[in-house]
Amino acid sequence: MTTSSPTSNTIGFIGLGNMGSAMASHLCKAGYTVLAWARSPASFETLAHLPLQAQSSIEALCANTKLIALNVTNTADVESLLFRQGGIAQHAQRGSIVVDFSTIDAAAVAEFAPRLKTLGIDYIDCPVSGGVAGARAATLSMMAGGDLAAFQRIEPMLHHLGKTIRHVGPSGAGQAIKAANQMVMCIQLAGIAEAMNYALEQGADLAIVLELLQAGLPASRVLDWAGPHMVKGFSDPVSIEAHLHAKDMHMIADAARKQGLHLPLLFKTAELLDELVANGPPSQDTSRVFQIVQKHMRGE
């Protein structure tokens, strides 16, 4: 059995979806040996073009590296990978670093990190912003919470994946800022959908509406992304899948309620996205919330 330090060129990767596989690809190109484990071995069939070293178990992965990256869907997935029987907490070597690129609950992260620390494992919550396009272009924004010294040891690796990389505070701080990012983006999206629908109802040409909004103070990256979808009728390829935004907004809203916080814009936007996911195709762009807003505006 061989072991390595967190600063070596060997990294374990769990979570090889659209974003995770793109990130793993960049690490391979940068000269890293990427060990990978997946719940389903069939996952590797679509990734045959990558020089990944498939591992038979989490135990095998942990035996051969002290740097483990996660990129999975939700808080429960992360908790299971970390603390279940046969999970990372049981098998990771002392001195290991877990860098978690998933978007999960900040309060949960604040519990995970000290549990791992007692085992000699550092946990860095490092959610990313930029979507699949940013992952493929290695231009992600990355906001890392956790021990500063541990972050500094893995920072060179992060620069192969992202463009804007910041250590933002203690454990959970990265997730808190990612939550704020998702709130701004999705609440703004709902506002754009409502404004565009209002203008359309008054007989305006949506292409002209978009042009003039982009030329004025309402201009934003969210408008540049979502506006063309709304104008063209959602014929363009999906850029961000609605179920991912719905998951994030639902998670943030639930956490806010537990803290006794009243955030009406967040709560309403989460409801709209939940409705979108419940009434649309499995894979659809979040900008289709335009159609949900339109339905409510007309009392349907």
State yes or no: is 295 an active-site residue: no
d(CA 122, CA 176): 19
d(CA 162, CA 205): 38
Q: Which of 66, 117, 163, 178 is catalytic?
A: 178
d(CA 278, CA 239): 19
d(CA 2, CA 204): 66
Q: Which residues contact 29 (CB under 8 A, 6 or more apart)?
A: 160
The contacts found for 160-167 with CB under 8 angstroms, 24 or more apart, are 160/26, 160/27, 160/29, 160/30, 160/32, 161/23, 161/26, 161/27, 161/128, 161/135, 162/128, 162/130, 162/134, 162/138, 163/138, 163/139, 164/140, 165/141, 166/142
Q: Which residues are catalytic?
A: 178
